[in-house]
Amino acid sequence: MKYLYNPPAILKKIFNDFRWYTINNKILLTFDDGPNPGTTEIILKKLSDNNIKALFFCVGENVKKYPGLVKQILDEGHSFGNHTFNHKILNQISGSEKDYQISSVNKIFKEQFDITLKYFRPSHGRFQISTSSLMKKHQLKNIMWSLLTYDYKNDLSIVRFAIEKYLTNDSIIVLHDSNKSKNIISDSISIISDEVRKRNYQFGEAGECLN
């Protein structure tokens, strides 16, 4: 199977209102699909050990199930993004369902944590032309990526290859806060951190990398 570590240039050109890279030549680490008991804690420990602040794209139903993990992520100084309520693919649902998938997550974060979300990432990275207007409607920025690690394949050699070959000083990197990546997530973060420092690159935080 051929892995698509970096999105095609034509896609980034057409959807140039989406964010594919950071704006400040710093690397942004992002985690999709959480929070997830048993994985989130591993991630937070490793991020703390390496002094990295990350952006967590959370699934709404997981936020409702595990508010304590959300609070832990918040307390450790990380940022949040909207990853739909239950991970539905936007181009497979109706307009009203799209609105619900986005607005419900915004509402949960505002009501339970007093957080106004600014960032969105579509489930499975799937979007369509109308996604741009949807983002404007909900006052969100669509944050894609420049480097997909395929950590959910549970194969550290794939992660290592992706980082060594495709890492740039303005990368937005995708990892996953899920059971699929649980066994290799700590080592995956180590690989990234080691390579970033080896190249004298820097990690950044969501606010400085995306605004």
- Is 130 or 210 the better-scoring residue by pLDDT? 210
Residue 171 lies in a domain: yes
Q: pLDDT, tens digit, for every residue of 133-166?
A: 999 999 999 999 999 999 999 999 999 999 999 9
Residue 8 lies in a domain: no
Residue 148 lies in a domain: yes
- pLDDT value at residue 2: 64
Residue 119 lies in a domain: yes
Residue 2 lies in a domain: no
- CATH number for the domain that contains residue 146: 3.20.20.370
DSSP 16-77: TTSB-S-SSS-BEEEEES---TTTHHHHHHHHHHTT---EEEE-HHHHHH-HHHHHHHHHTT
Q: Is the sign of the CA dihedral 151, 97, 134, 61 positive or negative?
A: negative
Residue 6 lies in a domain: no
Residue 145 lies in a domain: yes
Residue 3 lies in a domain: no
This prediction's pTM: 0.96
Quote the domain boundaries for residue 17: 13-210
Q: How many domains does the chain contain in total?
A: 1
